[in-house]
Structures are given as structure tokens and as C-alpha cells.
Structure 1
Amino acid sequence: MNFLPSLRNLVSAYQAFERYSAPDLKAMGLTMTQFDVIATLGNQPPMTCKELGEKTLVTKGTLTGVLERLEAKGILERKTNPEDARSQMIGLTEDGQLLFEKVFPAHLKHLDKAFQKLDTEQLKNLQESLNLIKNIF
């Protein structure tokens, strides 16, 4: 079980990322999950709930509640899928797109402050290592 130290470091790294990222999003009135959904839908055509779930880091159970709250705020809308009436197409409203255009670049700028501490080679190695982990599962 020599993977346990690596697993601990992976979890600790994600927790550190959340501690850095979440307050910035909270100041913009969003949770990390809401931001993930808005960032995924921004500048994209509407998509099904299944597609959205596959493109975000949000589980299906959590996604339903997040979509309901964002819809109630007027940030996204759901329409019947013209190709399959059993599913819905989810997209940003005009206000949602404006929100995306405001918060997405602002949050990327915030994240860039941290990631600037890594040089190009370190970023490349990090990406390769994370892909290795992802692909073993």
C-alpha cells in the first residue's frame, strides 16, 4: 500500500485548492459547484442534464439542487429537448451569460496568482501526473 502517501497528498492538494478558490467565489455570491455549472454552460449551446453532469465535477444528486437554485435566480433555464421530450436542455439565460462573462475571467485571474508560482515544466509534470492518476481508474 505504498500509494497511501500519494493519496494523502492528492486529497490535501485538493483541499488546499478549495481553501484558496472558494472564498473568491463566495465573494462573488457563488459556491464552487455553482461556478462549475456556470463555467461549463458559458459560451456553449444548451446541453442535457446528462451532458452537463459528464462535463462538470458535480454528482447527479447534487446537480439537481444546484440547477433548481440557479434557475430560481434566473441564471439558467431549462427547455424540453426537441430531440427527446423525456429530457431537458439546460442553458444560461442572458443574465446567466453576463454573470459568466464577469465571474469566469475574474476567478481565472485569482487562480492564476497561485499557479504562477509553478514554471512551465512543473505545470506540464503536474498535468501528466494527474492524467496518470485519472487513467488508472
Structure 2
Amino acid sequence: MSDNLSLKAFVVLMKSAKSVEDKIKKDINSFGMKTSDFAILEALYHKGRQTIRQISEAVLINTGSITYVIDKLENKDLLERINCKEDRRVVYIEITEKGKQLMDEIFPKHQKVIEHIFEDISTEDKETVINVLKQVGKKEENNKGDNN
């Protein structure tokens, strides 16, 4: 029986994730942006200056693709590259004033969309979902490389 519940939990999780992802993509597209562009700007907007590796880990985009997206955003003057004075191999990415102004305008609207998705879920249930999904993620992080 628990195997059936595990399968059902997986299917419900995947369907729910797809539904939320579609809603979020539609919202981000309404601002004339791609999800990857928004994710990078959002990471810099909230976390400040980051390396490409840090951004890649934060937004789950591989470093090869992220360089292309950063180039596009830099050409739009939404972010800039800054060389590290202590280590010439390190390049930081930082949101520009123009990028900050854009995020000041659109992020509150985006946050309202997310809040709307979860508005009928109690605080307790949200905390439960967070904790359960963390457990699933940690278990799989600890088991990387295992096929079981």
C-alpha cells in the first residue's frame, strides 16, 4: 500500500509542479521575459553580486547556458560583469540600476501571482509541504549516484 502512496505522491507532485510552472511561465512572459532571464535577475536582485557558478546553482541552469543568458541581459544593460580584484579568474555578475528598477516594478506583481497560487493553503500546510519536499530533496541529494 505504501508503494502505491509513494507513486501517487510522485504523480501528484509532478502534476502540481507542472501546473505551477505553467502559471509562473505565463506570468514571467507577460513581462516580455524568458524564465531563465527572470530567474537570473531575481537571484541578483535578492542576493546581490554573485559568480556565474553561484547563479547557476541558485537558478538550476547549467553554466554553459547561463553564459548566453548573461550575455543577453548584459547587452540590455540589466546586469554587468565585474572582475574580482583579488583573483583575476573570478568574475562577478551584478544587477545594474536599470535591472534593479525593472525588478522593483515587476517582482511585486510576480510575488502576488505566487501568493495567489497558495492563498487557500493554510500556513501550517505550507510549512508541511516545505518540510516534506526538503526531506525528499535531501534524501535524493544524499543518494546521488545510487540507482535505487
After TM superposition, the score normalised by the length of structure 1 is 0.90
Pairs within 5 Å for 1:71-86: 71-86=74-89
CA contact (8 A) 1:43 1:97 kept: no
Match of 1:66 among 64, 69, 83: 69
Number of matched pairs: 137
Q: Does the C-alpha gap of structure 1 residues 10 and 43 become closer, same or farther in structure 2, counting only changes over 3 Å?
A: closer
SS at match of 2:42: helix
Structure label with greater radius of gyration: 2
Please point out which of 107, 111, 122 is paired with 1:108: 111
Amino acid at match of 2:56: G
Q: CA deviation at 1:23?
A: 1.0
Range moving further from structure 2, 52-61 or 123-132: 52-61
* Segments ≥4 residues shifted beyond 6 Å: none
Shift of 1:54: 2.1
Deviation at 1:43, TM superposition (A): 4.8
Name 2:9's counterpart in structure 1: 6
The structure where strand makes up a greater share of residues is: 1
- Report the aligned-residue RMSD: 1.7
Note if 1:135 corresponds to 2:138: yes
Q: After superposing the two structures, state which structure 1 stretch, 34-43 or 56-65, moved more.
A: 56-65
- CA-CA distance at 1:82 after TM superposition: 1.5
* Distance change in 2, residues 1:118/1:43 (3 Å): closer
CA displacement at 1:40 relative to structure 2: 0.7
User: C-alpha separation between the residues in 1 aligned to 2:13 and 2:71?
Assistant: 32
Does residue 1:51 correspond to 2:59, yes or no? no
- Indicate yes or no: 2:121 matched with 1:118: yes
Aligned-pair CA distance for 1:6: 2.8
Q: CA deviation at 1:81?
A: 1.5
List runs of 5+ in structure 2 lacking aligned partners: 141-148
Question: Where does residue 17 of structure 1 map in the other structure?
Answer: 20
Answer yes or no: is the 8 Å Cα contact 1:36–1:57 preserved in 2: no
* TM-score, length-scaled by structure 2: 0.84
Task: Find the aligned partners of 1:127 and 1:43 in 2 and give their Cα distance.
Answer: 20
- Structure 1 unmatched ranges of 5 or more: none
